[in-house]
Chain A
Amino acid sequence: MKIEFTHQPGNTAATLQLAQGERCTTESGAMIAMSGGLDIETTTHKRGKGGLLKAAKRLLGGESFFLNHFSARQGAGEVVLGTALAGDMMAYRVDGDALMVQAGSFVACEEGVEIDTSWQGFKNLLSGESLFWLKLSGRGQVVLSAFGAIYPIEVDGEHIVDTGHIVAFQESLDFSLTKAGKSWLHSMLGGEGLVCKFKGRGTVWCQSHNPGSFGLSLRPTLKRRK
């Protein structure tokens, strides 16, 4: 699978070129355009697993994470992918290691990549920002997106990143949720809430802007829901 990024960094689109017989998996809603001959299947997990009932259950459970699988069975083709928010994209090759990805940043991956949606991550904690994480492992290329620019941070020792700014990180890193300030009260009042403290060696990819902050800044101007 060949990945090409266009319109970087403001309104990035990823074009995935599939050779005949190749397959790719994308986040639901990411497809902008595609070749006419590709086959499509929608599932909750890996291809061939999870029925319609299970999908509906997940939707009701508030986890609307669905995946579209494109396969170039009849001949080579392309899939063009975009996101809802403005920003950049990046590619990463998983090769036996594992990558933790914030669900909103996942765009696509090759067939050899395993997607584990059951990893709870920080979810059970009082994060206030209910992030949902994917664990990507196996072998193959992965496409990730960000709100704004993407920059890597090489951690050697300790580093702190606000949870809303994390795009992905290598599993080789230990992580724990902690408060940003000295006391819980200061952390909450300071608007930082919870931050993630990484330990060890590995890379964390960050996004320049926090989607949650942008959403909250729109809140006063958005019409109320009944």
Chain B
Amino acid sequence: MTYKVSVTGYATPNAAAAQAAFAQAFKITPEKAAELLTTLPRTIKVGLDADTAERYCQALAKMGLNAEHSHHDAPAAKAAPSASATVTSAAVPAAKPAAAAPEAAPPPQPRAAAEQPGFQFRIDGAPDFAFLTVQLPANHSIKVEAAAMATMDTSIRMKTKLSGGLGRLVTGESIFVNEFSADTVAGEIGIAPGAPGDLAHVYLKGGEVLFLQNGAFVACDPDVTLETKWQGFTKGFFSGESFFLIRASGTGDLWFNTYGGMIEKEVDGEYVVDTGNIVAFTEGLDYKLEKFGGYKSLFFSGEGFVCRFRGKGRVWVQTRTSGALLAWAEQYRRVGKEA
């Protein structure tokens, strides 16, 4: 027995505030939220168990929305994912026709989402413990960071591929990216990054390039090319991170994760980020490693080197770093040899 959750109306006179809260919670733009919440009732989630459905209703009530959950039988649940995907993420079967092969006709789709190509996916547990669930249409595959697969349907097969070349040996990143494919039947795959934190999704249009900090990669469309990029001594040497960045180019979905919260920052001009906190940035930005403040700051500020971005683009920053946690734990190490 599964349940669906529908928004039936507004509990507050301030519809705009409710829409804004909804947009934030589901990580969609306020415009999209407004569009979705214009025609009510609107089904926003299907295939949930009773407890989860109840939690959704409570969360929606907090946003100032009236919501209800109702029984929902299995065949309909298969037909409906397109509706659920419209709010949870940007994904639609249109570009991958095999994804939408339901017995029943899917409910009408909001236009905003229909324009977004790529896989149907869902991010749960954000922002502290985000994990990813991707619907793989038949005859499609997905590249996943080695060891990040958590659950999958038995119809999905795994192939291990060497990706990113030998460079990945040096980055400290496992050199293997696994490819999971749904050969004949569509399936679902659950992907969990190693570190607890948030997940970001970017759909790379052809020609767009994104740089990822070593270790941030989670999954991508097979049409996205991953390469390691030598940073040179000047850029990578003092960063304390690695000599490499992962260069992602091509067309398709790309997911990456953070340790801690994720801040997405539009840069226009100059912006400075601690090297350990950089997660990703767009190619259009020029970046330079430099010391933080004067020489005194270099040794005592606790920052060391920072990255100065120049130009127009976007930077993703994480609010915590595993390096800082390790440095903190250092004081608790025992001294001397094993007794």
Contact = CB atoms under 8 A, between A and B. Distances in A.
B109 interface: no
A84 B128 CA distance: 15
24 contacts: A10-B128, A10-B261, A11-B127, A11-B197, A11-B260, A12-B261, A28-B302, A29-B303, A31-B292, A31-B306, A34-B272, A36-B271, A40-B292, A42-B296, A68-B293, A82-B260, A84-B325, A84-B328, A85-B328, A215-B332, A219-B334, A224-B333, A224-B336, A225-B336
B324 interface: yes
A13 B301 contact: no
Interface string B317-339: 11111001101110111111110
A80 B333 contact: no
Contacts of A211: 328
A11 B320 contact: yes
Interface of A: 6-7, 10-13, 27-38, 40-42, 44, 52, 55, 59, 66, 68, 80, 82-86, 211, 215-216, 218-219, 222-226
Contacts of A84: 320-321, 324-325, 327-328
Contacts of B306: 31
A82 B319 contact: yes
Contacts of A222: 329, 332-334
Q: Contact residue range for chain B?
A: 35 or more
A184 B128 CA distance: 41
Contacts, number: 140
Contacts of A223: 333
A188 to B, nearest CB: 19
Contacts of B270: 35-37
Contacts of A82: 260, 277, 319-320
Contacts of A12: 261, 319
B300 A33 contact: no
B267 to A, nearest CB: 9
Nearest to A36: B270
B333 A225 contact: yes
B272 A29 contact: no
Nearest to A52: B296
Nearest to B269: A36
A68 B301 contact: yes
A74 B197 CA distance: 35
Interface in B293-320: 293-294, 296-297, 300-303, 306, 308, 310, 315, 317-320
A79 to B, nearest CB: 9
A41 B293 contact: yes
Given A33-B273, A42-B297, A7 B338 contact: no
A55 B296 CA distance: 9
B301 A32 contact: no
B265 interface: yes
A155 to B, nearest CB: 30
Interface string B248-272: 0000000000001111010001111
Contacts of A31: 274, 292, 303, 306
